[in-house]
Amino acid sequence: MTIGIGLLGLGTVGAGVAAILARPEGRHPLVGELTLRRVAVRDLARPRPVPLAPELLSTDAEAVVDDPAVDIVVEVMGGLEPARTLILRAIAAGKPVVTANKAVIARYGEEIAAAAAARGVYVLIEAAVGGGIPIIEPLKQSLGGNRIQRVSGIINGTTNYILSRMADEGAAYAEVLADAQRLGYAEADPAADVQGGDAADKIAILAGLAYGGPVPRAGIATEGIDRLDARDVAYADQLGFVVKLLAVAEHCGHSDDGTQQLDVRVHPTLLPRQHPLAGVHGVNNAILVEGDPVGRVMFYGPGAGAGPTASAVVADILNIAGIRQVGGADAGLDPLLAASSWRRCALIDGALSRHRNYVRLRTRDEAGVIGRIGTCFGDAGVSIQSIVQFEGSGDGAEIVVITHEVQEALFRQALAAIETLAAVESVAACLRTL
Rule CB under 6 A: choose which of 5, 6, 12, 208 binds ligand NAP. Answer: 12
Residue 77 is a binding residue for ligand NAP (CB under 6 A): yes
Q: Which of 364, 429, 424 is nearest to 393 (CA)?
A: 364
176-192: b or e for each residue (b if 16 or more CB lie within 10 Å)?
bbeebeebbbbbeebeb
Please, which of residues 298-357 interact with ligand NAP by CB under 6 A?
304-305, 309
If you count them, how many residues does the chain have? 434
Of ligand HSE, ligand NAP, none, which one sits near residue 151, judging by CB under 5 to 8 A according to partner kind?
A: none
Q: Which of 206, 346, 349, 217 is nearest to 290 (CA)?
A: 206
Residue 156 is a binding residue for ligand HSE (CB under 6 A): yes
How far does CA 165 lie from the centroid of its chain?
A: 20
Active site residue 244: no
Cα angle 213, 157, 184 (rounded to 5 degrees) comes to 115
Residue 9 is a binding residue for ligand NAP (CB under 6 A): yes
To the nearest 10°, report the CA torsion of 405, 130, 245, 267: -60
CB-wise, 280 or 400, nearer to ligand NAP?
280
Residue 198 is a binding residue for ligand HSE (CB under 6 A): yes
> Which residues make beta-bridge pairs with 299?
287
Residue 113 is a binding residue for ligand NAP (CB under 6 A): no
Residue 201 is a binding residue for ligand HSE (CB under 6 A): no
Residue 188 is a binding residue for ligand NAP (CB under 6 A): yes
Q: Which of 9, 47, 306, 311 is nearest to 185 (CA)?
A: 306
**Cβ count near 419 (within 10 Å):** 13
Residue 303 is a binding residue for ligand HSE (CB under 6 A): yes
Catalytic residue among 95, 140, 202, 244: 202
Specify the 3-state DSSP secondary structure of 5: strand
Q: Which of 359, 361, 362, 351 is nearest to 385 (CA)?
A: 359
Residue 185 is a binding residue for ligand NAP (CB under 6 A): yes
Residue 14 is a binding residue for ligand NAP (CB under 6 A): yes
CB-wise, 158 or 164, nearer to ligand HSE?
158
Of ligand NAP, ligand HSE, none, which one sits near residue 43, judging by CB under 5 to 8 A according to partner kind?
A: ligand NAP
Catalytic positions are: 202
Q: Which residues bind ligand HSE (CB under 6 A)?
A: 131, 156-158, 185-187, 193, 198, 303-304
Q: Which residues bind ligand NAP (CB under 6 A)?
A: 9-14, 40-43, 46, 61, 76-78, 82, 100-102, 127, 131, 184-185, 187-188, 304-305, 309
